[in-house]
Structure 1
Amino acid sequence: MSAIVIAVVLLAGFIYAELNTKTKYRLIKSTGWHTYFIAAKYGVYFAVLAGVATLVFYPALEDQPLFIWTAVWGMFTLALATAWGKYRYLFVRLCKPLTTACLSVFRRLVVANPPIHHIWRTMKIWQADYEDETAQESAYLLARKNEFEHMLYRALRQVQMLQITLKSGKVYIGYIQNTLINDNFDDTEYFTIFPLLSGYRDKDDQTLTLTTSYFDAYEQIEDDTQTTDDLEEQFRILIPRAEVMSMSYFRPDYYENFADHDDESE
């Protein structure tokens, strides 16, 4: 029976991965046991939800053998994986007001209960410490492997602006989102950027000239339902690694100082 449970969990994970583009790419890029771990991670989510759904039918299944319970649970698990994989974004859009309200109530309950609030804060601190250690270790390994990957990784994790010059002379300045394949920046072929400024470099002296500010466009969007994630999804730019001429961190205040210095020298 345990073998059937494991098989259902893995199958649910694989079904979801096949129906969700981002997860599918992660699964394709993974090898060995890592593939099973990815499938199992998502499969466990659906298995737990299916267990809760199965308990709803307890009165009807009370006198049934374990095999029937397992069969019902398995069908719920696979159905949830299929439905969430196909209609995830529809569910998110429809349930967003409800989930927002539930999260708001949950936060108020946590804050109002000192013991729970203390436990919650402690867990968040532990999570932050773990993520910080993991980020430092990953950054170190990436730096040893490839400086290009390391710069992308740091820009994403530390939320730093990057200045990217393409072979065409076009320049984009903004925040890195992720790669096309995964978020690990391992052998990156493409990556996406949320642009804030753009311009070009002079062919002769490579002087940077900024021509477009995306801030104005973002501010003019008056749709109150537009979230930051929606903006990033609509305005992000996909950049092939092969088209990148150079890349560097960008600080607006430093750029203004350099620009003022150049104006004075002229």
Structure 2
Amino acid sequence: MAPIYIAIALICGYIFASRSPKTRYRYKRSNGWDAYFYVASWGGVFLVAGWFVTSGMSYFGLLRWIANTLGFVKQDIEKLVPVEKALINYEVLKTFAWIAVSTAIAGACGMLSRYRFNDPITRANWLSQNVRHSPEESLLVYAASTRFPLVVTLSSRKVYIGVLTMPALENGSVEYIELLPIMSGFRDKDELTLHLTTNYHDHYSKRGLLSGIPMGPNTLSINSFRVVIPAKEIESMSLFDKDTYNDFKAQEEQAKIDKSNALTTQADNVLI
């Protein structure tokens, strides 16, 4: 029976882990035996809980009452349970009830955890506390929860600046990010300086998308402009502050002017 109990523990643990976002977050980041032991440990918890519940139901006669209420007789049970007729007794039925109760508890706890995790604030708070080990995930959670604009540079040197949708980190490693662009541009090939060429925010404003009332006959909404970016295409990410960008851009332009003036002065001196 030991292999059967181990299998039931794994099944209960997997049912809970697949439904509970918090548990699935760690399960998806476990490898090899770590994943098996993690799932089995949760399954053991539910087997113990199911044993207590089933024992209580048996002690107070609830199991017999349920069987009588549903009209089950021994002949019906012999047809349902794939066990030799001679082996069917109250203890065997109690074992099957224990397995069923343990599985039900695992599923119910998983659904309850998912329901609580659906609250955006609860989800953001939990993720922010559990992604500290990963600078990339920590930045994504912070940008999405605070709605702080994010600069995403792609391998093609294309740059998007926008508001990030909270990634589903509980489903495993990040494969894509979803961004509502505010501006876009590119990075210079040699100096990698940022040049912005498209202002999506002005376009949203002109179309009335910011107020939720589109201008014209089109049915576009602001969510129609969301961009999905594969994680493998991302070279770098950082937060974006417009005032800081303008200050750095002014310094950059001033440096170019100073350099140009210096070259002009040097050329004049050579001619003299």
TM-score w.r.t. the length of structure 1 is 0.48
Query: Bigger relative contact order, structure 1 or 2, given CA contacts below 8 A and separation 6+?
Result: 2
